[in-house]
Amino acid sequence: MAQCNIESPPAKILASLALTWLLASPPLSFADQDWPCWRGPNGNGIASCSDAPIEWSETSNIIWKSPVPGRGHSSPAVVGRRVFLTTADEQKKEQFAICYSRESGKLLWNRKLYEGGWDSPSMIGRSWANSSPASDGEKVYLVFSHKSKLIVTALDLEGKEVWKKTVGDFISHHGYSASPVMFGSTLILSADHKKGGYLAALDRETGELRWKTMRPAAPSYVAPAVLSVAGRKQLVISGCDLFAGYDPGTGKSLWSSKTTTTECVGTVVASGDLVFASGGYPKNLTVCVNARNPEKVVWKKPIRTYVPCMLTFEGHLYTVTDRGIGYCWEVSTGKEKWKARIGKSFIASPIISGGRIYASSDKGTTHVFSASPEGFKRLATNPLGTEIYATPSICGDRIYLRCASRAGGKRAETLYCIGNTALKK
C-alpha cells in the first residue's frame, strides 16, 4: 500500500505529528448508555445493555415515535440527550442532518447540508443518506458524497457548522455508504471506488487532514473498523480483493492479503487475532485469516453475506445472509453449529444485546433469537412498518429503530424508541 503525499508538510512529518497528537489526546470513552457511531462504541455490533425488550409492536413497548422527513438508510447515533440521523429529500435532491430529543423524540433541529450534485446509485431501494453519523458528545460528524467528492461536515450539538472538509474524489458505483469511525482525536473514513480509493483521518477538532492512504482502484463499500488484533489496535478493512490492516494513528499499511472479493459491504469483525470478512462480488465468500499470518487462510466458505455485517460472540461467528439464512460457525475452525431460515431478505446488520441477536429484515420485521451455538432458538418476531433498511442502535436498554411504511402509494419513515414500558418510571 502506498502512502499518499497530498499536501505540505511531507508525509513523514504528517505521520510524526499524527502520532504526537494521538498520544497527547485523551482516549475516547462513552457511557454504557450511548451508541455513538456505526456498530456501537466498540465497533463490533455488541451492545453493553442486557435488558432491551424482546417483543414489541405498534401498540406495545413503544416509548416514543417520531416522523423522519425524506429517506435514508443510516442508523441512529445516540449520545447523551440526543439522537442523530441523516436523511435526504429525493424530490428536491437535498441532504440533511437531523437531531431528536432522546427522552421525548421531539425534533430539535433539521440542518440542510447539500443540494443537487447527487450521484446515481443503481441499487433497488437506494438511498442518498446511507452513512451513519458519528458523535463524540461535543460534535456530530456527517459524511456525504456530493458532486463526485467526499465531504465531511462537523456540526455542534445545536446543528451549527463547526467545519467542513472535502477529503477527495468519490466516483459512484452504487452510491456512498461507508460510515466513519472515531479513533483518538481523529475521524477515520474509507472511500473505495473504481477510480482509486483511499482511507483518510481528519482532526475532529479542526477538520485538518492527519493522513491519507491510497487504496486500489475498485468499487467496495466497507466501513473500516478499529480492532484489537495481533497485539495492537489496527484499522482493518476488506474489499478490493484484499484483507488489510493499517495503523490507525498514521495510516501506514501493516499487512494485506489477497483473500477477499472485489466488492464487500459488511464491516470486518474479529475474535482474538482471527479476522472475518464476507462478500460479495464477483464470487460468494466468507473468509477467516489470522492477523499475525494474514497470507494464510484459516478457513473459508462459498457463502455470501453481502450487505449485513457479521458478529463474533463467545467463540462463534454469527451471520444472517441477505437472503435470510442464519449461520453459526466455530471461529477457529469454521465448523457449522447450526443453519436456519431467519426471514426473507435483509439489508440491515444484526446486533447482539443480552446474549440475543436482533436482526431486522427489509420487509419490516425484527427477528430476535439466541446467540448460542447449541442450536437456533427463535425468541420473537416483531413486525413494525413495512420496510427496515437501517440497522438498529441498542443502548440504555432501549432500541432505536428506523422504519418505513407504505400507504396509498406513499412512503413515510418513522424513528421508534422501543423499551420495556412496564419498567418506565
| pLDDT tens for each residue of 199-241 | 999 999 999 999 999 999 999 999 999 999 999 999 999 999 9
Task: Render pLDDT for 124-146 as a digit per residue (tens, 0 to 9).
Answer: 667 899 999 999 999 999 999 98
For residue 276, give every residue at least 6 positions away whose Cβ sits within 8 Å of its Cβ, in sequence order, or none: 268, 269, 270, 286, 287, 288, 310, 312, 317, 331
In a domain, 4, yes or no: no
Confidence of residue 152 (pLDDT cuts 50, 70, 90): very high
Is residue 104 included in any domain, yes or no? yes
225, amino acid identity: A
**Confidence class for position 173, pLDDT limits 50, 70, 90:** confident
Average pLDDT, the chain: 91
State how far the Cα of 168 lies from the Cα of 64, in Å rounded to an integer: 39
Per-residue pLDDT band for 253 (boundaries 50, 70, 90) equals very high
Question: Is 197 within the bounds of a domain?
Answer: yes
**pLDDT digit string, tens, across residues 286-296:** 999 999 999 99
| Predicted TM-score (pTM) above 0.85 | yes
Region 382-397: what's the mean pLDDT?
A: 97
Q: Is residue 2 part of a domain?
A: no
Contact indicator for 135, 181 with CB cutoff of 8 Å: no
In this structure, is residue 5 part of a structural domain?
no
Q: What pLDDT score does 50 carry?
A: 93
Q: Is residue 366 part of a domain?
A: yes
By DSSP bridging, strand 77-79 and strand 62-68 are: unpaired
Residue 322's pLDDT is what?
96
Residue at 361 is within a domain: yes
Question: Cell numbers at residue 383, please?
Answer: 413486525
Q: According to the model, what pLDDT value does residue 172 have?
A: 79
Spatial CA neighbour of 139 closest among 182, 102, 108, 177: 182
Number of domains in the chain: 1
Domain assignment of residue 26, given as a range: 11-423
Nearest alpha-carbon partner for 367 in 343, 386, 389, 347: 343
Among 122, 67, 47, 24, which Cα is nearest to 398's? 47
Beta-sheet pairing, 209-214 with 225-229? unpaired
Residue 224 in any domain: the answer is: yes
User: Is the pLDDT confidence value at 52 over 80?
Assistant: yes
Question: 262 vs 71, 283, 358, CA distance in Å?
Answer: 28, 9, 28
27: pLDDT confidence band, cut at 50, 70 and 90? low
Report in angstroms the alpha-carbon separations of 193 from 82, 88, 219, 223, 286.
33, 22, 4, 13, 22
Query: 378 in helix, strand or coil?
Result: strand
Query: Domain containing 30 — which CATH number?
Result: 2.130.10.10
